[in-house]
Structure 1
């Protein structure tokens, strides 16, 4: 199962300007926020590409973000910088029900847009 998402980076930045930290705390885990924060400021490209990854994974499940929360899908990186997904809560249960063994993701962004693809392997 495959999912893809693209988002304009300024959508995340504008949501932060309107809603503040409350917006980020609803979407991202503390580890994701820590990774995306440099010199006291958030890197909105990094936040946007993680949002796109969460959307791509949800689309690959075939459900969208229904029945679980944004924070149930966490984007992490290994020591070489390779991104991967860590599932929590209802998303983890859904993966178990669908017999998903591994989730592969690919992330990219430029100055304007962020894109992510997800492949759920059974």
Structure 2
């Protein structure tokens, strides 16, 4: 299990500086980025903070942080969390079969929880 918190204010600054598409494209798979970019743009920093917290929480649950796997190979759309590519292969090699993820927002915090099951 892994958890993480991330302030949307950090992403508000990054989106203002670099643009929404660049920020989303840097950390998200194209499908997940399109899903977020197609929604409410005012809430985009909040939603990016949640997705970043989810990746941090996943790395903690995996036991290796953000190193050794591609952030873009982890997807979270409509409350469903799954892995593709080399990340899916890594999970299979560790006998991890089920991924659970949840993201919540309150004020200037996004919270993510990830549970990996064998």
For the aligned pair, the TM-score class normalised by the smaller chain equals 0.7 to 0.9
Residue matched to 1:22: 22
Two-structure CA RMSD over aligned residues (Å): 1.8
Deviations 1:21-78 (A, max 9, x none): 333211012222232233666622122111111111111000111122210111122x
Map 1:1-122 onto structure 2 (within 5 A): 2-20=1-19, 21-37=21-37, 38=39, 43-77=44-78, 83-122=79-118
Counting strand residues as a fraction of each chain, which structure ranks higher? Answer: 1
TM-superposed CA distance for 1:118, in Å, is: 0.5
The number of residues matched between the two structures is 116
TM-score (norm 1): 0.83
**Structure 2 CA distance for aligned equivalents of residues 17 and 91 of structure 1:** 31
Q: For structure 1, which runs of at least 5 residues remain unmatched after alignment?
A: 78-82
Q: For structure 2, which runs of at least 5 residues remain unmatched after alignment?
A: none
